[in-house]
Structure formats: C-alpha cells, structure tokens
Amino acid sequence: MKHQEGFFNGVRNHRIYYQYWLPEIEPKAVLLVVHGLAEHSGRYMNLVNHFLPLGYAVYAADHLGHGRSEGTRVHVERFADYTDTLLSFREMIRGWQKEKPVFLVGHSMGGLIGALYLLSHQNELAGAVLSGPAVKAPDDLSPFTIFAAKVLSALMPRLGLRQLEAEGVSRDPAVVKAYETDPLVYRGKLTTRLGAEMIKAMRQVGAEASRISLPLLADPPRGCRPPGPSVRRADAP
C-alpha cells in the first residue's frame, strides 16, 4: 500500500488537506471519499482497508474548516465552497489517474455535498454511493425556525448554536469513544450560516434530484437537523 498526503489551494486560498492510498497493482478504479460533518478523511480506514486489496485507489480530502484543512471550524460562506473544493480535487485526481473510472462515496453531510455535486458534474463520474445522505431536513423543522436561521445567518453568520452529539455517530460504544477522543473531530458548536446553507442545499437537491441519471447506490434520505436556532413562538406550549 502506498499512502501520500499534501495540501492544495481551495476557495479563498485556504489550504485544503488531502490524502490517498494506492494498491500494489495498477488501480482498476478510484473511490473519491466525501466525509461527513465535523469529522475528517482519516476516519475512513475501514473503507480503505477493504477496497485497496481489491485493486481500488482511494482519495479523500478534509473539507474546508474540517480536520487538517484551513478555515473557520465547520463554517462556510456558502455551501458551494464544499462543492467547488471537491471539483478542484476531482481535477487533480484526473491528472493523477487518467482515464480511470471514478466513483464518488459520500457519507452524511458528504452525501449532501456529493448529491449537489452530481447535479452539475455527474458526467465526470462512473457512479456514486451516498451513505446516510443528509439530503432531507426533519419534518418537524418549522417554517418559523427556517426563517429564524436565515435571519441569524445574515446577521451573525458565525454564531454557534448547536453541538453534535457523539452518541448519534454509531450504536457501537467503541466507535463513539473513538469519535470522542479523535483530536481532528470538531466537538464545538456549528454555525448559523452553515445551518442556513445546508437547508438551502437540501431544498435544491430535493427539487432537482430527478436529473441525476448515473449509476447510484443510496440509503433512503436521512432527515438531518442542520445547526439552527432552537426557537419557539411566544404562544408555543
């Protein structure tokens, strides 16, 4: 196994960390991993260890504001910051692995990023796998809460409002403990801007998903509560 890592310039010249693993033989195809919210590319070694012996190369990058990449932790100016960075990374992979089929593998928020990416760039991929994709907001997310998130995103975009619960990562206590003790996993609060941008991206994917025509394996859309204000109306019980 060959492991390489480095950095490239992403949006607004932030340094984005990437790494890849190559099998001992000539790769038959490439897996492009798009990791989930608040985590990083190094948390997918189970996938690497499974597919490398089968002859697949695995490439992954830490999102802007995640892991070893630069940027305000778990915050974006616009959700397209993620897809634009993914596009740059995909172009780098094209130069390294000319004419090799590339399969996108997105998990959780990475599934949302991947789905949004497919709307404009599916012709660059051979297929995609979306694991627990966060492409649907919870049914109980009220219009008032969505409106409040938009207002706070405009007025206080970096305000931290909600922290991820480690218990929701897995039912396996060992996996939860590894998540909690991983120094590259962000354990702080998520920002209002990211919450509003996630909702906007979810709506776009929901409205345009029928345009995705490449081979696709996906879990049922998972209701994901983006970081947003826990606000009730004055007359709420």
* CB of 126 closer than 8 Å to CB of 103: yes
CA angle 60, 61, 66 (to 5 degrees): 135
What is the predicted pLDDT for the residue at 183? 94
Distance CA 230, CA 180 (A): 24
Sheet harboring 216-218: ordered strands across?
2-9, 15-22, 56-61, 29-34, 102-107, 127-131, 216-218
Render pLDDT for 46-76 as a digit per residue (tens, 0 to 9). 999 999 999 999 999 999 999 999 999 999 9
Q: Which helix (H) or strand (E) holds 104?
A: strand 102-107
* CB of 228 closer than 8 Å to CB of 161: yes
Burial 19-49 (b: 16+ CB within 10 A, else e): bbbbbeeebebbbbbbbbbbbbbbbbeebbe
What backbone torsions phi and psi does residue 129 show, to the nearest 5 degrees? -125, 125
Please list, in sequence order, all residues whose beta carbon lies within 8 angstroms of the beta carbon of residue 56, skipping any fewer than 6 positions away: 23, 27, 28, 29, 30, 31
Render pLDDT for 175-198 as a digit per residue (tens, 0 to 9). 778 888 999 999 888 888 998 999
* CB of 7 closer than 8 Å to CB of 18: yes
- CA torsion sign, 172 to 173 to 177 to 180? positive
User: Which of 71, 67, 126 has its CA nearest to residue 93?
Assistant: 126
Render pLDDT for 122-159 as a digit per residue (tens, 0 to 9). 999 999 999 989 998 766 666 767 777 778 778 888 88
Domain annotation for the chain: domains and CATH numbers: 2-218 (3.40.50.1820)
User: Which of 47, 227, 10 has its CA nearest to residue 129?
Assistant: 47
Render pLDDT for 103-128 as a digit per residue (tens, 0 to 9). 999 999 999 999 999 999 999 999 99
pTM given for the model: 0.88
The residue ranking higher by pLDDT, 19 or 145, is 19
User: Which of 37, 2, 3 has its CA nearest to residue 224?
Assistant: 37
Q: Which tokens hold the place of 34?
A: 């798009």
